[in-house]
Amino acid sequence: MIKILAVDDERSICELLKLSLCRAGYRCVCAHDGMEAADLIERESFDLILLDIMLPKVDGFELMEYIRTTDTPVIFISARNAVEDRVKGLRMGAEDYIVKPFDVLELLARVEGVLRRHRKLETTIRIDDLEINTLSMQVTRDGREIPLTRKEYELLLLFARNAGVVLPKDTIYERIWGGEYPENTRTVELHIQRMKKKLGWDYKIRPVYGMGYRLER
């Protein structure tokens, strides 16, 4: 599983990052100051680091100098929106620079983009006899392609990367369609039903009463 380190002295931001990343199928570890982050980086390996600049003990720019020796990709997330700060962060080797307050969906898209550039995301996902090729966006069973619409493919990928995790309908809607989950809509249910029918997965993706849907492992 992809492991991400979130470094921010605002605990509410860390909790938001952890919740959002875990829902998206990543593992997230949090640190609240630069020294704690440096200790974690020394002991563990991470696939990506989300780094604030204004940190106690060791600030983000100082910590970046150490991170560069590990070749771990970094995305700066900071309230400092001056052009010189963004330019400095990117010139130090950061993959991206996101200004607070940020939109969670945009953040997740940027995280996925960085992981894809660094080939951290798996290119083939297998679930039983089903194979998902994330490069060609093809879904096959026993070598035969199963035609899915773009939304159905994105739904399948979301479930595949979150196998065993209950995905609330509003989270599914936000990740696939964007925006807030509208009231009195059956868009999510209808697309899941059509996808399950094409895959022959009536038993694999189950509704969890009052919560959402889960892909059984």
* Amino acid code (one letter) for 1: M
Tokens of 48: 């990506």
Separation in Å, CA 116 to CA 95, 113, 157: 12, 5, 14
What is residue 181's DSSP assignment? P
pLDDT band at 124 (very low <50, low <70, confident <90, very high): confident
Structural domains in the chain plus CATH codes: 3-117 (3.40.50.2300), 124-215 (1.10.10.10)
State the pLDDT at residue 183: 78
Mean pLDDT of 68-91: 93
Percent of the chain clearing pLDDT 70 (strictly above): 99
State the pLDDT at residue 10: 93
Q: What are phi and psi of 126, to 5 degrees?
A: -115, 130
What is residue 3's DSSP assignment? E
pLDDT at 120 over 80: no
pLDDT at 68 over 80: yes
- The residue written with tokens 């679930």 in the block is 127
State the pLDDT at residue 122: 67
pLDDT band at 121 (very low <50, low <70, confident <90, very high): low
**Cα(123)–Cα(137) distance, integer angstroms:** 10
Q: What is the DSSP string of 75-91?
A: EEEES---HHHHHHHHH
Name the strands in the sheet holding 166-168, side by side, starting at the edge strand that comes first in the sequence: 166-168, 212-215, 205-208
Chain-centroid distance of CA 149 in Å reads 22
State the pLDDT at residue 148: 94
pLDDT in tens, 135-189: 788 999 988 999 999 999 989 988 887 888 888 888 888 878 877 778 778 899 9
Residue-averaged pLDDT of the chain: 89
pLDDT in tens, 13-48: 999 998 888 777 788 999 999 999 999 999 999 999
Reported residue count of the chain is: 217
Percent helix, strand, coil in the chain, to 5, is 40, 20, 35
Tokens of 5: 């380190």
**Cα(175)–Cα(124) distance, integer angstroms:** 21
Other Cβ atoms closer than 10 A to 3: 15
Bridge-based pairing of strands 48-51 and 3-7 is parallel
